[in-house]
Structure 1
Amino acid sequence: MSVNKEEAAPVARLICSRINRTVGWVYRWNTSELSILWIGAARTADHIDPPLRPDMLAAAQAVTSDEVTRFLEKLSRG
């Protein structure tokens, strides 16, 4: 049985330290997939608040693109 993405909840903010602003949000779907909602055209983040837990990242790796998980993992490590 396949699980469809039906709802998501915000789990972290993506922040650009240069301008000290939130530039995006990380959402976790009911499927454990992680996705990013960017705010505006500037898609540059160098900080995540709060860092994502290793178990959340591991669950997402099975259903989220490698590019997204690598990016979020890098930010979560600091």
Structure 2
Amino acid sequence: VLKETLNLGLWYLKGPGFNLKAYSDSDYVGCNLDRKSTPAGNQILGGKLVCWSAKKQSSVAMSSTKAKYVVVSRCCAQVL
């Protein structure tokens, strides 16, 4: 069903409120079984959500700082 919407898209008009915001968060050692974090983030353009993600890390972060660094770097990569 999703492949039937390939011709659809998003249209954003540039105006005075046209700005980009990015948010990210990580739950350090969120899973008690494998101690992996699940970083999440989203990007808002002109007040509208344009991108989001939440994916469990493939490796274990050794500190909460490293877990947050990973999620911030992913968020920045999506913005670029």
TM-score (norm 1): 0.30
TM-score (norm 2): 0.30
Larger CA Rg, structure 1 vs 2: 2
| Structure with greater proportional strand content | 1
